[in-house]
Amino acid sequence: MKPAPFAYAKARSVAHAVELLSAHDDARIIAGGQSLVAMLNMRLAAPEILIDINDIPGLSEVSVEDGFLRIGALVRYAQAQRSPLVSTHAPLIARAIPHVAHAAIRSRGTLGGSVAFADPAAEMPACMLALGARIVIAGVDGEREVAIDDFFKGLYETAIGPAEMLVALRLPLHGPSRRVAFGEYARRRGDYAMVGLAATARAQGAGLADVRLAYFSVGLNAVRAQGAEAALEAGDVEGAVAALDGDLDPDGDIHASRDTKMHLAGALLRRVAAELSEAAQ
Amino acid sequence: MTAAQMEHEITLTVNGFAVSERVEARRHLADFLREDLGLTGTHIGCEHGVCGACTVLVDGEITRSCLTLAVQCEGKSVTTIEGISDSGAVADLQEAFRARNALQCGYCTPGMVITASVLLDAEEMPDREEIRDHISGNYCRCTGYHAIVDAVETTLKARAEAGR
Ligand SMILES: Cc1cc2nc3c(=O)[nH]c(=O)nc-3n(C[C@H](O)[C@H](O)[C@H](O)COP(=O)(O)OP(=O)(O)OC[C@H]3O[C@@H](n4cnc5c(N)ncnc54)[C@H](O)[C@@H]3O)c2cc1C
Ligand code: FES
Ligand code: FES
């Protein structure tokens, strides 16, 4: 349970980090290390070099800028949980963080690391999908922004290239007509979810519009349930539950069979739908 | 220190003392404390973040020492169970553990005490549910947790009384 040998360098800036990434074939960024060091210890990963981004100035900030909440790549769960900007402008994130792991892991783990890692059972990628986030990525040629709907590419695969890094998450600001809801079923507190759901919508009259339902732990990545979204917009909760059959295609795992996951996905949807419309009086 | 090397010279504070050592980049903090500094109060259970036996304080925050590289602790302040025991900072909590039989084999205890220690100064007193939530990342295979929650709660109440 000890890592294979690797070299280690501290990046001084984002430009330095991407320069180091492009200079090595088998380099890996280390942020909070709460997924990566476990993989190193178990030798599920054995990179040639680790590039530590923890000392890069300016990546630990939460700010509001041109209509978006910007969360720097190094903002840790514990920091986000304490941040009034996050609770005001991204209440969905504030709701979800207590479900991520345990206090000692939240003191180091970063939101950016979770999104870049794209674990299919993780909360943050699904929250980003539900919120319609924009992901800021830096490479040797500078920064680019990717819409979250184009970000997840496959199991642990994202739009971040081998010589690029995630520098910030940009979330549309919460507003008076916006609704958010979150739920997950896990075996024990802090465990990865068997099934989870992050949702946003806009209140419109007595109903809901622009519904985004992002499930996690039911596929290779966080996935939207678009059939169910349309049914909820039409005010049909049971229709939405039925639509999940076409939207989701989970494999069973050691925690839950496919049937159990589908059942839980429906139960979560009823809860989350009630929460969305309750808030939308 | 920005050169990409396999070994690095690090300087940090451990339990209030300045420490300088040469470490392999792959050395995690738990092994550094135990093997290089002889501070064996920090226990190792799973080495992948699940059991909490290796919990220490890094700059005052509870941290998995098996998921932190020693080389990342350059310039940081690390506190282990030896540190908070010797300073007397958790003497009351340790006494409550003993009185309530909140330890049997004791393997999880250093991690439990460190984890619980950050609750003792919380502005608002956590209830039992919150105590359970806070220690949910620390496994104990002996006690069934109930006695541990009791010990933490007793200590919190006694401190709140004394502070009044
Ligand atoms: C016991 C335990 C329980 C956990 N439970 C949960 C849980 O319930 N839910 C959950 O979501 N997570 C859970 N986690 C994982 C935790 O949330 C991690 O912190 C998170 O997944 C990764 O964040 P990190 O900053 O630690 O990233 P690291 O571990 O440092 O990195 C993870 C990966 O992302 C890459 N990376 C990191 N930052 C960047 C960046 N800025 N740009 C490009 N690539 C980057 C790294 O190269 C690496 O491949 C758990 C972990 C443990 C040990
Ligand atoms: S040894 Fe670190 S959490 Fe188990
Ligand atoms: S006392 Fe034995 S593991 Fe907790």
- Which ipTM value was assigned to this complex? 0.93
Of A5, A37, A101, the CB nearest to B28: A37
Which pLDDT does position A189 carry in this prediction? Answer: 85
Report residue B164's pLDDT band, with 50, 70 and 90 as the boundaries.
low
Q: Is the model's pLDDT at A278 over the cut of 90?
A: no
Please calculate the CA angle A189-A116-A171 and round it to the nearest 5 degrees: 85
Residue A80's CATH number: 3.30.465.10
Give the domain-ending residue among B84, B106, B141: B84
Residue A200's CATH number: 3.30.390.50
Number of domains in chain A: 3
Domain presence at residue A123 = yes
- For residue B58 and ligand 3, the question of a CB distance below 6 A is answered with no
Report residue B3's pLDDT band, with 50, 70 and 90 as the boundaries.
low
Helix (H, G, I), strand (E, B) or coil at A44: coil
Same domain? B77 vs B95:
no
Same domain? B142 vs B118:
yes
Read off the pLDDT of residues A240-263 as tens digits, 9 standing for 90 and up: 999 999 999 999 988 899 999 999
Which residue's CA is the nearest one to ligand 1's atom 36? A113
CB contact under 8 A, B28 and A41: yes
Give the domain-ending residue among B64, B84, B104: B84
Same domain? B95 vs B80:
no
Give the domain-ending residue among B33, B59, B84: B84
Number of domains in chain B: 2
3-state secondary structure A174-185: CCCCEEEEEEEE
Same domain? B78 vs B10:
yes
CB contact under 8 A, A8 and B8: yes
Read off the pLDDT of residues B53-76 as tens digits, 9 standing for 90 and up: 999 999 999 999 999 999 999 999
Task: Give the pairing type, strands A49-52 and A27-30.
Answer: parallel
Model pTM score: 0.96
Chosen for mutation from B29, B58, B64 (greatest number of chain A CBs closer than 10 Å) is B64
Burial class (CB within 10 angstroms; exposed 0-12, middle 13-18, buried 19+) of A145: exposed
Residue B92's CATH number: 1.10.150.120
Ligand closest in space to the Cα of B108 = 3
Same domain? A81 vs A113:
yes
Q: What is d(CA A269, CA A276) in angstroms, rounded to the nearest whole number?
A: 10
Burial class (CB within 10 angstroms; exposed 0-12, middle 13-18, buried 19+) of A148: buried
Which pLDDT does position B40 carry in this prediction? Answer: 98
Structure tokens at B149: 């929650």
User: Chain A interface residues facing chain B, Cβ-Cβ under 8 Å?
Assistant: 1-12, 16, 20, 24, 30, 33-34, 37-38, 40-42, 49-50, 52, 54, 78, 98, 101-105, 107-108, 188-190
Provide CB contacts within 8 A for A125, sequence distance 6+.
Answer: A114, A115, A118, A119, A152, A216, A221, A222
The parent domain of residue A14 ranges over: 7-52
Backbone torsions φ then ψ of B112, nearest 5 degrees: -65, -45
Domain presence at residue A101 = yes
Q: Is the model's pLDDT at A279 over the cut of 80?
A: no
Q: What is d(CA B150, CA B135) in angstroms, rounded to the nearest whole number?
A: 12
Residue B20's CATH number: 3.10.20.30
Same domain? B117 vs B78:
no
Residues facing B18 on adjacent strands? B13
- B contact residues 117-156, partner A, Cβ 8 Å cutoff: 118, 132-134, 136-138
Q: Where do we find the tokens 């020492």?
A: B65
Report residue B96's pLDDT band, with 50, 70 and 90 as the boundaries.
very high
Which residue's CA is the nearest one to ligand 3's atom 3? B140
Same domain? A100 vs A185:
no
Same domain? B11 vs B77:
yes
Using CA atoms, how far residue A196 sits from A56, A147, B39, B56, B146, in Å, is 33, 22, 41, 31, 29
Same domain? B35 vs B97:
no
Q: Where do we find the tokens 């530590």?
A: A52
Read off the pLDDT of residues A86-105 as tens digits, 9 standing for 90 and up: 999 999 999 999 999 999 99
How far does the centroid of ligand 3 lie from the alpha carbon of residue B110, in Å? 10
The parent domain of residue B154 ranges over: 88-161
Give the domain-ending residue among A140, A171, A202: A171
Same domain? B10 vs B55:
yes
For the CA atoms of A112, A138, A152, A183, the dihedral, rounded to the nearest 10 degrees, stands at 20
